[in-house]
Amino acid sequence: MGLFDNLKKGLFKTRKSLVDDTEKLARGRNVDESLLEEFEELLIMADIGPQAADAITGALREKVREDKIRNERDLRTAFKEEVVKILKEGHKIMCAGENPYIILTVGVNGVGKTTTIGKLARHFTDHGFSVTLAAADTFRAAAIEQLEIWAERAGANIVKHRSGADPAAVAFDAVTSAKSKNIDIVIIDTAGRLHTKTNLMEELKKIKRVIGKEKSSAPHEVLLVVDATSGQNAINQAKIFNEAVGVTGIALTKLDGTAKGGIILAINKELDIPVKLIGVGEAVEDLQDFEPSEFVEALFG
C-alpha cells in the first residue's frame, strides 16, 4: 500500500464526518439558507472550529447568491475549494544549513510524542542522516526506556541521564555530544506533565535557553505534538506552548483513530503555526509530511 493509500485509509473516519455526512445532508434538497445552517452545524460537530466553519459557509452563501451553486454536486465542489483555501501550503522539516539541526519536541503526555520522535528519527536515518535522541523527559522512567527502544530501531544515538535528572542538562549533553561527533540531527524529548503547568513551561524555557547557549541558532525547530482525537483542546495546547517556547510546527497524531480530523482546518484557520507532520497509523511510514493537496484529495476521494 502506497503513502497516499495509507493517508486515505487513515482519514476514513474524518471523511465520513466531514464529507460523507455533509453530502447526505444535501442529497435531494435545494441549496438554501436552511441547508447551509445545518451544513455549518455539521462542520462544527466535525471539530473544524467556529472560525473555519463560518468562513466556509460564508463563502458558500456568496456562491449561492451568485448562482454558482445550484445542486449538491456544485456544493461539494465549492466545499472542496474552500477547504483547499484554508489549508496552508505544506512546510516540511528542513534539516539543512545547520549542523547539528536541533529539534525540540514538546506536548502533553499521551499525545504520542515519544513515538513521533522515534518515527521521525527512523525517517531521517533511512534518508542517510545521523541522529542523536535526547531523553530529556526524565520525570517518567518509561519515557527513557521507550526512547531507547526507538533509538535502537532507528539506528540513532541516545543521550540519557538517570531518572529524575535535570532535563536541561540532558539536552545540553546531547547537543555537545552531537557537535563533537558531527551528528546531523538532534531530537529532544521533553516531559509532558510536571507538578503544575507553570513548572512545565518554565522547564521547557530553561531547556531552550541552555540549548541556545551551546548553539546560538538553536533550537531550529520547536515541534508541538498534538493528538487529533482531542479536538478543540489541541488548539488550547498549541496556544499555551506557543506562548512559552514559540512553536514553529505541529505534528498531528492519531488521525486514523478519530472523526475529528477536521481539527486540522481549525489549526490552520486559528493559529499561525503550520502543520508539518500527520500521523495516520501505527507503522513508521504512517508519519507523513503534511501536503495539503494530497490531504484534500484523500479526504474527498
Pair 141, 79 in one domain? no
Within-domain flag for 91: no
pLDDT at 236: 92
Within-domain flag for 92: no
- Domain with 283 in it: what CATH number? 3.40.50.300
- The boundaries of the domain holding residue 111 are 101-300
**pLDDT tens readout for residues 106-134:** 999 989 999 999 999 999 999 999 999 99
Pair 204, 275 in one domain? yes
pLDDT at 195: 54
| CA distances in angstroms from 276 to 27, 147, 149, listed in the order given | 35, 22, 25
Pair 192, 278 in one domain? yes
Pair 61, 105 in one domain? no
Pair 211, 267 in one domain? yes
Which is higher by pLDDT, 195 or 29?
29
Within-domain flag for 94: no
Among residues 45, 62, 86, which one ends one of the domains?
Answer: 86
Within-domain flag for 246: yes
pLDDT at 141: 79
Cell of 227: 493528538
Pair 229, 124 in one domain? yes
Within-domain flag for 271: yes
Three-state SS for the chain is CCHHHHHHHHCHHHHHHHHHHHHHHHCCCCCCHHHHHHHHHHHHHCCCCHHHHHHHHHHHHHHHHCCCCCCHHHHHHHHHHHHHHHCCCCCCCCCCCCCCEEEEEECCCCCCHHHHHHHHHHHHHHCCCCEEEEEECCCCHHHHHHHHHHHHHHCCEEECCCCCCCHHHHHHHHHHHHHHHCCCEEEEEECCCCCCHHHHHHHHHHHHHHHHHHCCCCCCEEEEEEEHHHCCHHHHHHHHHHHHHCCCEEEEECHHHCCCCCHHHHHHHHCCCCEEEEECCCCHHHEEECCHHHHHHHHHC
Pair 36, 126 in one domain? no
Among residues 55, 86, 117, which one ends one of the domains?
Answer: 86
**pLDDT tens readout for residues 23-54:** 999 999 999 999 999 999 999 988 899 999 99
Among residues 86, 120, 144, which one ends one of the domains?
Answer: 86
Within-domain flag for 93: no
Within-domain flag for 95: no
Pair 47, 132 in one domain? no
pLDDT at 3: 78
* Model confidence at 68: pLDDT above 80: yes
Pair 51, 166 in one domain? no
Domain count, the chain: 2
Pair 259, 136 in one domain? yes
pLDDT over 70 percentage in the chain: 98
Pair 79, 204 in one domain? no
- Domain with 14 in it: what CATH number? 1.20.120.140
Within-domain flag for 228: yes
pLDDT at 95: 84
Pair 74, 106 in one domain? no
